[in-house]
């Protein structure tokens, strides 16, 4: 009996221990998606299949836009949530189901599709339940501009791994992507896609919105956590783990996709009342040793690749630096309201390079600009890559710069000329760039400050003249370059920065790096 009493007492103690343990509730996290991505990577890729009827699959873009989301079906609109959801219908090349789940009190449940979410009457189609098997993507709504207007879009996810984000008083422009694979290679680009999302329903006073996503493609799988923090400059924090099925020849981290048709540095060849037309007009890079680079964008006649090799990266982005209505004169599309996207790594990305891909485009409907970070390390099957970074979608791009670093305000292209004795300007057969530098410290220097331009040009160009002129309008300095090109079928790289003319050559500005294309 003594034996059984001891045994019984031990059982009671164990039961008491269980009841007295802290109550650890399950919380959905990135780790849950990582487990799914890791397991998925151990199997061969299966291309998503579509069951979408041809009446939706064969829609032209203009017709696809006629499918409208029923506002009465806005998700979470009656739940005292600061964020709300709307959805995208499948159609066109968005022709397969993307599974969308909601997380409420750490419980996961799928948001079920039904035809009543959408109005297809403009297409003379009366959709019945069961015809379409799910959503193509979703939108996040938030009162970003007016506390009473709760349906302002701040985030949109539709197609592959693309997403777009806007902050206060902004309109959609450039896009971000989760990952770029083999972009710009002859072998062809691979487009990973988000196959499933988990959307965390925010508490009534919550100031951010959390999205989890599962990525899939022939070469990789991935787990992503995307946190939106609405502000004047929308902040997006991204944490990801990528699992490799195959070796990837070129991996692009934090890719941005934009459009550049024409601008001051490459005027339109066709007369147009709009002086400029682009979502971004430059690539900005902040190197690991805290140097700044500005690369004006081009719309080339053929594919152009530019690479900026670095030991590490502090930040980079595609920037809409011209931000006034007079820059565009477009009452329909308001390019001056389109945000810049600026990326800052939150963990060590190691050595690698920023790559800029520029593609020719005849009009503004094509995104022809891609920028991303390519790590030096080559990843093999079975490898895992963890990255963490922050993206600012902002119209306050100048605020990033230290006061002692001047930035490029304008890049103008021109045919070179000289002023004759009779004061008439005569074209001299050269090519000219006019570059305006502005900055807080620069504006406080006297007109006769000891400053000079530091100019370097690649072997395909010959510098004829460089002149520095004080700009009393901008309280900055203007550099006027004249140069010739040796071979018209090759690009010419030009670098300009302002330095002190005191024997120390202290750099006072970012480095302007233009690629002149005479083909």
Same domain, 236 and 328: yes
Point out the domain boundary residue: 337, 365, 400.
Answer: 400
Point out the domain boundary residue: 338, 365, 400.
Answer: 400
Assigned token pair, 321: 């630096």
- In a domain? residue 9: no
Edge-to-edge order in the sheet of strand 407-419? 407-419, 425-438, 476-485, 461-471
Judge contact between 81 and 201, C-beta under 8 A. yes
Same domain, 413 and 390: no
Question: pLDDT tens string for the chain (519 positions)?
Answer: 433 343 444 444 444 444 444 445 578 999 999 999 999 999 999 999 999 999 999 999 999 999 999 999 999 999 999 999 999 999 999 999 999 999 999 999 999 999 999 999 999 999 999 999 999 999 999 999 999 899 999 999 999 999 999 999 999 999 999 999 999 999 999 999 999 999 999 999 999 999 999 999 999 999 999 999 998 889 999 999 999 999 999 999 999 999 999 999 999 999 999 999 999 999 999 999 999 999 999 999 999 999 999 999 999 999 999 999 999 999 999 999 999 999 999 999 999 999 999 999 999 999 999 999 999 999 999 999 999 999 999 999 888 889 899 999 999 999 999 888 888 989 999 999 999 999 999 999 999 999 999 999 999 999 999 999 999 999 999 999 999 999 999 999 999 999 999 988 999 999 999 999 986
Number of H helices, E strands in the chain: 6, 32
Q: How far apart are CA 80 and CA 64, in angstroms?
A: 32
DSSP 8-state secondary structure symbol assigned to residue 57: H
Q: Domain containing 89 — which CATH number? A: 2.70.98.10
Assigned token pair, 231: 């502000």
- In a domain? residue 216: yes
Q: How far apart are CA 458 and CA 495, in angstroms?
A: 9
Q: How far is CA 126 from CA 67, 69, 132, 388, 479, in A?
A: 11, 14, 12, 45, 63
Query: What pLDDT, on a 0 to 100 scale, did the predictor assign at position 12?
Result: 44
- In a domain? residue 351: yes
Same domain, 461 and 351: no
Beta-bridge mates of residue 431: 415, 483
Query: What pLDDT, on a 0 to 100 scale, did the predictor assign at position 11?
Result: 43
Q: How far is CA 63 from CA 56, 114, 131, 352, 450, in A?
A: 9, 20, 18, 43, 61
Cα–Cα nearest to 165, from 224, 92, 216, 238: 238
Same domain, 271 and 414: no
Same domain, 385 and 436: no
Cβ-Cβ contacts under 8 Å for 406 (sequence gap 6 or more): 437, 438, 439, 441, 442, 476, 477, 498, 508, 509, 510
Judge contact between 491 and 304, C-beta under 8 A. yes
Same domain, 472 and 366: no
Cα–Cα nearest to 143, from 229, 200, 227, 83: 83
pTM of the entire predicted model = 0.93
Point out the domain boundary residue: 374, 400, 426.
Answer: 400
Assigned token pair, 160: 């592959």
Beta-bridge mates of residue 240: 224, 387
- Residue ranges making up the domain that contains 89: 30-400
- In a domain? residue 3: no
Same domain, 205 and 275: yes
Same domain, 452 and 392: no
Q: Kindly report the number of other CB atoms within 10 A of residue 410's CB atom.
A: 20
- In a domain? residue 194: yes
- In a domain? residue 286: yes
Q: How far apart are CA 418 and CA 61, in angstroms?
A: 50
Q: Domain containing 436 — which CATH number? A: 2.60.40.10
Q: What value, to the nearest 5°, has the Cα angle with vertex 289 and ends 287 and 290?
A: 65
Same domain, 336 and 456: no
Cβ-Cβ contacts under 8 Å for 62 (sequence gap 6 or more): none
SS3 category, 117? helix
Same domain, 53 and 158: yes
Same domain, 42 and 122: yes
Beta-bridge mates of residue 468: 479
Question: How many structural domains is the chain composed of?
Answer: 2
Same domain, 211 and 281: yes
- In a domain? residue 131: yes
Q: How far apart are CA 326 and CA 121, in angstroms?
A: 40
Query: What pLDDT, on a 0 to 100 scale, did the predictor assign at position 398?
Result: 87
Q: Kindly report the number of other CB atoms within 10 A of residue 259's CB atom.
A: 24
Cα–Cα nearest to 335, from 263, 409, 268: 263
Paired sense of beta strands 304-310 and 313-319, if any: unpaired
Q: Kindly report the number of other CB atoms within 10 A of residue 47's CB atom.
A: 10
Query: What pLDDT, on a 0 to 100 scale, did the predictor assign at position 8?
Result: 45
Give rounded-to-5 percent helix, strand, coil for the chain: 10, 45, 45
- In a domain? residue 502: yes
């Amino acid at each position: 009996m003594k034996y059984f009493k001891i045994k019984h007492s031990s059982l009671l103690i164990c039961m008491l221990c269980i009841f007295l343990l802290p109550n650890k509730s399950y919380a959905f996290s990135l780790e849950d998606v990582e487990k799914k991505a890791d397991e998925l990577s151990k199997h061969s890729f299966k291309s998503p299949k579509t069951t979408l009827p041809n009446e939706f699959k064969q829609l032209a873009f203009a017709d696809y836009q006629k499918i409208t989301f029923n506002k009465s079906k806005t998700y979470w609109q009656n739940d005292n949530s600061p964020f709300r959801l709307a959805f995208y219908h499948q159609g066109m090349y968005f022709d397969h189901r993307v599974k969308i789940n909601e997380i409420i009190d750490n419980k996961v449940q799928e948001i079920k599709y039904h035809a009543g979410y959408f109005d297809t009457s403009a297409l003379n189609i009366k959709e019945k339940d069961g015809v379409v098997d799910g959503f193509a993507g979703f939108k996040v709504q938030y009162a970003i501009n007016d506390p009473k207007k709760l349906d302002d879009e701040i985030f949109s996810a539709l197609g592959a791994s693309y997403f777009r984000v806007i902050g206060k008083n902004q309109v959609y422009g450039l896009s971000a992507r989760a990952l770029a694979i083999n972009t710009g290679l002859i072998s062809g680009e691979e487009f990973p896609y988000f196959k499933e999302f988990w959307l965390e329903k925010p508490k009534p006073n919550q100031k951010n919105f959390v999205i989890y996503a599962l990525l899939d493609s022939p070469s990789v799988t991935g787990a992503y956590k995307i946190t939106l923090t609405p502000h004047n400059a929308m902040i997006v924090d991204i944490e990801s783990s990528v699992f490799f099925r195959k070796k990837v020849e070129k991996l692009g981290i934090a890719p941005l996709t934009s459009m550049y048709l024409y601008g001051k540095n490459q005027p339109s060849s066709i007369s147009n009342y709009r002086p400029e037309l682009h979502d971004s007009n430059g690539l900005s890079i902040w190197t690991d040793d805290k140097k700044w680079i500005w690369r004006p964008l081009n719309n080339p006649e053929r594919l152009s690749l530019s690479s900026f090799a670095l030991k590490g990266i502090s930040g980079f982005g595609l920037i809409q630096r011209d931000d006034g209505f007079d820059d565009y004169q477009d009452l329909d599309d308001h390019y001056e309201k389109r945000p810049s996207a600026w990326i800052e790594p939150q963990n060590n990305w190691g050595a690698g390079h920023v790559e800029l891909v520029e593609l020719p485009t005849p009009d503004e409907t094509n995104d022809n600009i891609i920028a991303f970070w390519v790590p030096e390390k080559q990843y093999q099957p079975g490898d895992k890559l963890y990255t963490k970074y922050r993206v600012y979608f902002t119209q306050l791009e100048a605020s990033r710069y230290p006061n002692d670093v001047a930035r490029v305000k304008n890049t103008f292209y021109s045919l070179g000329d000289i002023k004759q004795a009779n004061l008439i300007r005569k074209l001299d057969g050269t090519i000219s760039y006019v570059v305006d530098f502005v900055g807080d410290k620069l504006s406080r220097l006297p007109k006769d400050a000891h400053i000079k331009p530091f100019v370097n040009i690649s072997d395909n160009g010959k510098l004829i003249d460089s002149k520095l002129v004080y700009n009393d309008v901008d309280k900055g300095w203007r550099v006027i370059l004249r140069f010739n090109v040796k071979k018209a079928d090759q690009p010419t790289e030009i670098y300009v920065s302002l330095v002190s003319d005191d024997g120390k050559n202290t750099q006072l500005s970012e480095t302007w790096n233009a690629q002149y294309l005479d083909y």
